[in-house]
Structure formats: C-alpha cells, structure tokens
Amino acid sequence: MNTKKFIKQALIVLGLMAGAIAIFSMIPVASAALISPYDVPSEVSGATGGEGNIKTLVLRIVNYALTFLGIVAVLIIVFGGFTYITAAGAQDKVDNAKKMIMYAIVGIIIILLSFAIVNTVLQAGAGVVSAPAVQ
C-alpha cells in the first residue's frame, strides 16, 4: 500500500515538473511575440523600471520569484521545527513535522537548482560575459 502511495506522489511530482518545463520552454516564444519593430527602447525602459532588455527583465522577475519561494521554504522548516518541538511525544505530530522539514529541504534544493539553471540559460542568451581573472 505504501508503494502505491509513493508511485502516485512520484507521478504527481513528475507531472508538475513536466508542466513547469513546458511553461518555461514557452517563455522565449512569448517574449519574442511581445517585441515588435515599433517598440521604442526608452518607453520600454521607462515602463519596466529602467530595464530595456527583456531577457534581463525576465531574469530579474524569476530571481525575485525564486527568492520568495526560498523564504517560504525556510519558513516551512521553521514551522516544522516548531511542530517537532511542541509534539510532546505524539508520534503522528513528530512524523508530520519530519515530513515538513524533509519536503522543505527538497524544495530548497529544487529552488537552488532552478536558480542556477535559469541564470545560466538566460545569461548565456543575453551575452553576459564574466570578468577575466586577475593575475
């Protein structure tokens, strides 16, 4: 019975990940459709808080969203720790707290990986070059 539950959860996570990949793969197409030859860079820059490049704007928005999710995951860890401490020996509360902490840690790992992937892909597409090493 426990194996069926695990398989069901794994399929749900796989489906959510596939959906997220599909959505993120459509972002370049959607951003390309937003750009027209009649766009005035100064107006775009004024409307986006001084950012004239769409890739940099998307990168900034994604970074803010991932930062927010990271804060939520840390808050879940804190709440799980509080639940663990106040469980008073109730095994169901202890198990629930351990699951919250474990899932939040997995969430933080996923957030960090997605942060690295998104920044690498969008900075490579934007032509951002790192500074040369000082010798």
Residue whose C-alpha is closest to residue 68's, from 125, 114, 13: 114
- HEC profile of 30-58: HHHHHCCCCCCHHHHHHHCCCCCCHHHHH
31 and 83 belong to one structural domain: no
Q: Which domain holds residue 7?
A: 1-35
Query: What's the mean pLDDT in 15-23?
Result: 83
Between 56 and 62, residue with greater pLDDT? 62
Most confident of 40-44, 81-85, 121-125: 81-85
* Greatest extent of the chain over all pairs of C-alpha atoms, in Å: 67
* CB neighbour class for 97 (10 Å; exposed up to 12, middle 13-18, buried from 19): buried
Evaluate whether residue 89 is within a structural domain: yes
Residue 21's pLDDT band (cuts 50, 70, 90): confident
Evaluate whether residue 135 is within a structural domain: no
Question: Cβ neighbours of residue 101 under 8 Å, at least 6 residues apart?
Answer: 76, 77, 80, 81, 84
Instruction: Tell how many helices (H) and how many strands (E) occur in the chain.
Output: 4, 0
Give Cα separations from 20 to 9, 46, 114 (angstroms). 16, 30, 11
51 pLDDT higher than 60 = yes
Give percent of the chain above pLDDT 90.
32
126 pLDDT higher than 80 = no
104 pLDDT higher than 90 = yes
Evaluate whether residue 42 is within a structural domain: no
130 pLDDT higher than 90 = no
28 and 67 belong to one structural domain: no
Structure-token pair, residue 84: 């663990």
14 pLDDT higher than 80 = yes
Structure-token pair, residue 19: 């959906």
Tell me the pLDDT tens digit for each residue of 35-50. Answer: 666 666 666 666 666 6
Mean pLDDT (the chain) is 80
First to last CA, the chain: 61
